Amino acid sequence: MKIDLSAVEIVNNKARNRFELSVEGQTAVTEYMMPGDKIIFTHTEVPVALEGNGVAGLLAKTALEWAKEQGLKVMPLCPYIAGYIKRHPEWKVLLLEGFRVD
């Protein structure tokens, strides 16, 4: 399924501690925990039907933008988010001191 990412909305579902992107009944998520002034990204999951459309990248970018706006330090325990930061080094400034992705 081809997705027009400019037409989708990502919601920060604070009650479930996750960013969500839903298309045609399929929901992709990036889950997090927020102890204090940190955000720990724990898991990103994209349904098979949505794979290959840049959904995970858009979730990662949106989640990191939100973390930056909130002044949070990032701990990317989720391998996808860690890889995204590694591929987009401009986000490394958000990493919790001592945390590395490379």
User: What pLDDT sits at residue 3?
Assistant: 80
Beta partners for residue 73, in sequence order? 38
Could you tell me how far CA 78 lies from the centroid of its own chain? 9
Q: What is the pTM of this model?
A: 0.94
Which residues have a Cβ under 8 Å from the Cβ of 86 and sit 6 or more positions away? 101, 102
User: What pLDDT sits at residue 32?
Assistant: 98
**How is the chain split into domains, by residue range?**
5-94
Question: Tokens 């349904």 map to which residue?
Answer: 47
Model confidence pLDDT, tens digit, residues 78-101: 999 999 999 999 999 999 998 888
Q: How far apart are CA 35 and CA 21, in angstroms?
A: 24
Of the CATH numbers 2.60.120.260, 2.40.10.500, 3.40.630.180, 3.40.630.30, which one belongs to the domain with range 5-94? 3.40.630.30
